[in-house]
Amino acid sequence: MEKKGGQYCLEVRELAAGYDGTPAIEGITFAIPPGQMVGVIGPNGAGKSTLFKAILGLIPRQQGEILLHDAPALDQRAMMGYLPQLEEINRAFPVSVEDVVMMGRYPRIGWCRRPRSHDDEAVRQALARVELLDHARTQIGRLSGGQQQRAFLARVLAQDPHLLLLDEPVSGVDTTTQHAIFALLEELRNSGKTVVVATHDLNCVVERFDQVLCLNRRVIAYGPPKEAFREDTLDQTYGHHLMIVQVGDRRVVVADEHHR
């Protein structure tokens, strides 16, 4: 077989994963070249979070292979930055925003070592990018939900990973922040990072993302949004709850309210 060295950042082959024997997702195969922004869409329970957790080794993989730059992803987890869908943290935990962002540096700093000045600098830059410099010394629980989400995103930035896995980073965040976050993700993509985002905002995927992965326990479609978003693929992904409407040169996905 032809060796395609370094062609892909992330390569998933025939992945099946889940708890207790019954896989929540199966037969998952796709590959992402570096420097792409990929949206993962699908209804609740489709396995978006499961896919992320399986890639990160947080839940057991029952079958298949996951490669990061042609080597097993689990051997290089520090190269993957993860933003969980819901941070289940103790809000009273005595750490400041900058402490939390510094945690992203830990794998690079290494065991038993202390942060150095370039780590402090990386933290400051990450905070600046999510516009939280003014809150650097605020205790994490005192931030609003949207600010907290940005703080955790800053932790991913400080980690400086090759691959970013962001599980619904804009859920529960106001529209202004949503746009700021997506603009930031585009910047990261343009600087060569591979960004994978689980989201419910299909229109945003159409407008901003390079690829879309339609997921419902298995891969329904994978490709550029204009090709992957068709009536039949959306039907298979979501059931008959969505419609595609052509507005001028924009293609808009709308929920079919009668089916809700």
Binding site for other proteins (CB under 8 A): 56-58, 74, 76-78, 80, 82, 84, 87-90, 92-96, 99-100, 103, 106-107, 109, 111-115, 139, 155, 159
Nearer to other proteins, 9 or 100 (CB): 100
CA distance 54 to 72: 13
CB of 81 to other proteins, least distance (A): 8
Counting other chains too, the contacts that 150-154 makes at CB distance below 8 Å and 24 or more residues apart are: 150/177, 150/181, 151/97, 151/100, 151/101, 152/83, 152/84, 152/87, 152/100, 153/83, 153/181, 153/184, 154/97, 154/101, 154/104, 154/123, 154/126, 154/127, 154/129, 154/130
CB of 144 to other proteins, least distance (A): 17
Nearer to other proteins, 1 or 112 (CB): 112
At 245, which amino acid appears? V
CB of 221 to other proteins, least distance (A): 27
Nearer to other proteins, 87 or 131 (CB): 87
Nearer to other proteins, 50 or 159 (CB): 159
At 26, which amino acid appears? E
Neighbours of 74 (CB within 10 A): 13
Nearer to other proteins, 93 or 118 (CB): 93
CB of 121 to other proteins, least distance (A): 18
CB of 114 to other proteins, least distance (A): 8
